[in-house]
Each structure stands twice: as C-alpha cells, then as structure tokens.
Amino acid sequence: MSNFTKRKSKFTVSFILSILLHTVLIVALIIATYTHLMDETGSGNQGDIIDAVMVDFNAMEANEMRMSTITANQKEAEQTREKQQLEEQEKLAEIENEIQEKQAQLEKELAEQAKQKALEQEQAQLALQKQQQEKEAIEKELLAAKEKQTEALKKEADAKALKLKKEAELKKKQEETLKTEIEKKQKEAEQKAKAEAEKKKEAEAKAKAEAEKKKKEAKAKADAEKKKQEEKAKAELEKKKQDEAKAKAEAEKKKKEAEAKAKADAEAKAKADAAAKAKAEGEARNSKKLADDALGDFISDKQRGQGSNSGQSAAAGEGGGKSSGVTMTDSDSYRNAISASVARYMYDAKSLHRNKKCSVAIRIDREGNIISTRQLSGDPALCNQALSAANLAKAPRAPTDEIYNYFKGKDIVLDFKY
C-alpha cells in the first residue's frame, strides 16, 4: 500500500502542475489578444486628433465614419474576445474533465491492481501454507521410511557380518594355499632368472671376443699403415698404446669389481636358495603327489582305452589314418587330467558359482607347465577364478610324445560347470 500511496502522490503533483501551466498559457493568450486590440485603437485616435487640427469637413466626415468603423470593430473585437474566452474556458473545462476522467481511470486501475496484488498475496500465502503442510507430511513419511530402512539395514548388516566372517575364514584358507603356490612360483622364477643371467653372461663373453677380434684387426691395419708412413704411424702408435693401456687398466678394474660383486651376490643367493629349498621340499612333495595321482588316473584311462581300441588303431596305421595315433579317448582323458589339476585350485567354486559355467583356453609345454591362458565364454567371476587357478596349477606331463604333439601349439579348452 505504501507504493500505491507514493504513486498517487506523484500523480497529484503532476496534475496540479499541469493545471497551473494551462492556466498561465490561457492568461498569456488573453493578455496578448487584448494588447493587440488596444494598439489598433490607439493608432486610430491619433489620426483623428491630427485630422481635427485641420479644418476639413470631408476629413471630419471621413473621421466620423472611421470612428464608427472603429467602434464597430471594437465591439466585434470585444465579442470575438469574449467568444475566444468562452472557447478557452470550454477547452479548459474539457481538459479538466479529461484530466479528471483519466485520474479517475488511473485510480480505478490502481485500485484494481492493488486488489489483484492483495489477491495474489493471499493466494501465495495459501500456497505457502499448503506447501508447508505437504513438506511436513513428506518429512513424516521420510522419517518413517528412514526408521524402517534403518531396521532393515541393521538386519542386513548382521547378515553381512556373518557372511563376511565365513568368507574371511575361507579367504584365510585360500591365502595359505596361495602362499604355498607363490613360494613355489618364486623358486621357479629364481631358477629362470639364473638361467637368463647365464645366457646374458655368454652373450657378454661373445661380445668381448668380437671386441678382441676387432682390436686385432685394428692393430693389423695400424701395422700396415705404419709401413707406409713410418714417422706418423709411430706417433699414433705410441698414443694408441697409451690409450689402450689406460682402457685396459680401467677394464681390469671394472672386471675385478664386477667379479667381487658377482661373487658376493652368488654367495647371498646360494644361502637364500638353500633356505628356500629346505622350505619348499615338503610343498614340492605334496604337489608332486597330486600330479602323480592325476597322471596315474590318466594312464589308467589310456590303458583301458588302448585295450578296446587296439584293433582300430592297427587298422588306422595300415590304412593311412592319423599319423599321430592319438584317439579321441586319449585326448579326452589327457584333457580331463589337466582340468582336474586346475580344478584342485578352485576352492569352494561349487558354492560360490552355483549354476554357472565357464570355458577357458590354455597352452602347455612338454613338461606340463601352463604357458598361456585366456577366457573364451561364461560367467566372469567363475572365469577369473579358473584363470587364477590355471596360473597356479601345473598340468601332468603328457605320457607320450604323440599326445604332446597332438596338443602342441593348440588351445586346450577346459569347461567348468557347477
């Protein structure tokens, strides 16, 4: 309402100023008109006075006619002035009426705007109250849902805690087994590193021999050059001998340092290997027993298959059949033995991956070491456990070269289903 009062006050001031300006303009117009008529009347009187001095009846008659005309003009001018004043008053009345109508219209519009604004404020207040009520209802619902969710989460947390306890026990068991396998893999890695070090040493010796050869060739070339330019070659030879002596001394020094370091490393490694060997012997016996059992099962299956298929194998050899002599029974039996070796490291797979299946592909070397693994299809979690088990396991050694050559360089597909 304060804004409405301010706008109304400003409009009243503007209206008053407009009335004053119109009034001043009308008064100025009336004064200007009256002054103009007085000027015209004054000029005619001076002419009469001048004519009156002259004794001329014609002039006097003309003067009387002029006076009559002036009187008529004054009356006409007075009537015109009154008419103009009346018209000005009518215009002013019309302007005032128009201003009053506009003011009334403006006040009416302002009143309607104020009423509309009050209505909008009332509606906004009602909407705000409704929103507040809805908010309180939502907060009550959220509080009830939160209490219900808290209770459910508590039950779920208890169930998860029990499950985690069981999983922790299972994980501890798996970690112990993995630790054994890791130590075994470390030992194999150390042996592999030792072999690579020996190979590198041989390469260094070969490179040294080539360097000696090049050195001799360079010396022979220097001798030939010495024959052509004896004096020049002598100075170069002396300088070369000094450089070679210096390089030889540095090489000898580096060689002694390297030998001393290699000797110390070898002694430390020998001690570590001896300790690791003593620790791993028991674990190796267990692993060997598992591999021997799997191989024995495989050989037994093979022998039974050979008894039933001996006639077929002989016929295949004479008639130009498979050159390898490996039957489907042989390949399936050896694949099953490999699958059993990998499955031994898939702890609790039956309970963790119920109704799941997976296919992986592996490749082996002649000793049964698994040299590559990859997933083909199936459940990702089961396949990850199968690949980890394959990296830890060692397949039984192929009983014959024919069976190894049959699988050599090929993917051996292992299927796991629980």
Residue 382's domain is classified under what CATH number?
A: 3.30.1150.10
Number of domains composing the chain: 2
User: Cα angle vertex 371, ends 366, 376, to 5°?
Assistant: 120
| Residue 328 belongs to some domain of the structure | yes
User: Cα angle vertex 392, ends 391, 396, to 5°?
Assistant: 95
Instruction: Tell which residue, 268, 279, 403, 224, has the closest CA to residue 329.
Output: 403
| Residue 165 belongs to some domain of the structure | no
Mean pLDDT score across all residues of the chain: 76
| Residue 399 belongs to some domain of the structure | yes
Rounded mean pLDDT, 296-301? 52
| Residue 193 belongs to some domain of the structure | no
Say how far apart CA 236 and CA 226 lie, in whole Å.
9
Rounded mean pLDDT, 389-415? 90
Say how far apart CA 306 and CA 9 lie, in whole Å.
120
Domain boundary among 121, 136, 160: 121
| Residue 259 belongs to some domain of the structure | no
pLDDT surpasses 70 at 415: yes
pLDDT surpasses 60 at 372: yes
pLDDT surpasses 60 at 337: yes
Domain boundary among 106, 121, 136: 121
User: Cα angle vertex 340, ends 337, 344, to 5°?
Assistant: 145
Q: How does residue 300 score in pLDDT terms, banded at 50, 70 and 90?
A: low
Say how far apart CA 250 and CA 68 lie, in whole Å.
151
Domain boundary among 121, 141, 164: 121
Q: What pLDDT does 323 receive? A: 39
pTM for the model stands at 0.28
What is the edge-to-edge ordering of all strands in the sheet holding 370-378? 370-378, 357-364, 412-417
H or E, element range at 343: helix 328-343
Give the best-scoring range by mean pLDDT among 112-121, 259-268, 304-313: 112-121
* Inter-helix orientation angle 230-319/57-228, to 10°: 90
408 conformational bin, left if phi > 0, alpha if psi -120 to 50, beta if neither:
beta
Q: What pLDDT does 381 receive? A: 92
Range of the domain at 64: 2-121
Rounded mean pLDDT, 261-265? 63
The more confident residue out of 222 and 213 is 213
**Is there a contact between 395 and 370 (Cβ–Cβ < 8 Å)?**
yes
Q: What pLDDT does 316 receive? A: 34
| Residue 409 belongs to some domain of the structure | yes
The more confident residue out of 219 and 336 is 336
pLDDT surpasses 60 at 228: yes
Q: What pLDDT does 50 receive? A: 45
Rounded mean pLDDT, 131-152? 86
Q: Which of 46-50, 109-113, 157-161, 399-403 has the lowest mean pLDDT?
A: 46-50
Strands 357-364, 370-378: pairing kind: antiparallel
Q: How does residue 264 score in pLDDT terms, banded at 50, 70 and 90?
A: low
Rounded mean pLDDT, 320-330? 62
Q: What single string gives the DSSP state of each residue in 259-326? A: HHHHHHHHHHHHHHHHHHHHHHHHHHHHHHHHHHHHHHHHHHHHHHHHHHHHHHHHHHHHHT--SS--
Q: Which of 12-21, 285-294, 385-394, 408-417 has the lowest mean pLDDT?
A: 285-294
| Residue 353 belongs to some domain of the structure | yes
pLDDT surpasses 60 at 304: no
Q: What pLDDT does 320 receive? A: 34
Q: How does residue 382 score in pLDDT terms, banded at 50, 70 and 90?
A: very high
Q: What pLDDT does 158 receive? A: 84
Q: How does residue 292 score in pLDDT terms, banded at 50, 70 and 90?
A: low
| Residue 194 belongs to some domain of the structure | no
Q: What pLDDT does 322 receive? A: 39
Burial 116-129 (b: 16+ CB within 10 A, else e): eeeeeeeeeeeeee
Helix (H, G, I), strand (E, B) or coil at 376: strand
